[in-house]
Amino acid sequence: MERLIFHVDVNSAFLSWQAKYEMEQLHMDRDLRKIPAAVGGDPKTRHGIVLAKSTPAKAYGITTGEPLSRALEKCPDLVIVQPKFETYVQNSRAFIQILLEVAPVVEQASIDEAYCDLSGTGRLYGDPIALAHQLKDRIQNDLHFTVNIGISNCKLLAKMASDFEKPDKVHTLFPNEIAKKMWPLPAGELFLVGRSSAKKLSGLGIRTIGDIARMDPDLLQLHFGKQGKTMWEFANGIDESPVRSESDAAKSYGNSVTLRFDVTDADSAKKILLSLCETVGARLRADKAYIRSVTVSIKDCDFRTTSHQTGLEDATNVTEVIYRTACTLFDQLWDHTPIRLLGVSTGKITDDSYSQMELFSTIKRKGPAPEKLSKLNAAIDQIRDRYGEDSVKRARFLEDGSSHMTKGLNKAKREE
**Using an 8 Å Cβ cutoff, are 105 and 117 in contact?**
yes
Pick from 318, 315, 313, 249: nearest CA to 277: 318
**Using an 8 Å Cβ cutoff, are 218 and 210 in contact?**
no
Pick from 164, 110, 93: nearest CA to 132: 164
Partners of 10 in beta bridges: 147
Angle at 97 between CA 95 and CA 98, to 5 degrees: 70
Q: Hey, how many other C-beta atoms are within 10 angstroms of the C-beta on 70?
A: 13
Give dist(CA 166, CA 150) in Å, integer.
11
C-alpha radius of gyration, the chain, whole number: 23
Q: Running DSSP on this structure, what letter comes out for residue 389?
A: G
Give dist(CA 357, CA 365) in Å, integer.
12
Q: One-letter amino acid identity for 126?
A: G
Partners of 5 in beta bridges: 117, 152
Look up 113 and say whether it is catalytic: yes
Angle at 44 between CA 40 and CA 50, to 5 degrees: 20
**Using an 8 Å Cβ cutoff, are 370 and 329 in contact?**
no
Phi, psi of 57 (to 5 degrees): -70, -35
Give dist(CA 217, CA 228) in Å, integer.
7
Find the catalytic residue in 22, 113, 278, 389: 113
Pick from 199, 335, 188, 339: nearest CA to 262: 339
**Active-site residue set:** 113
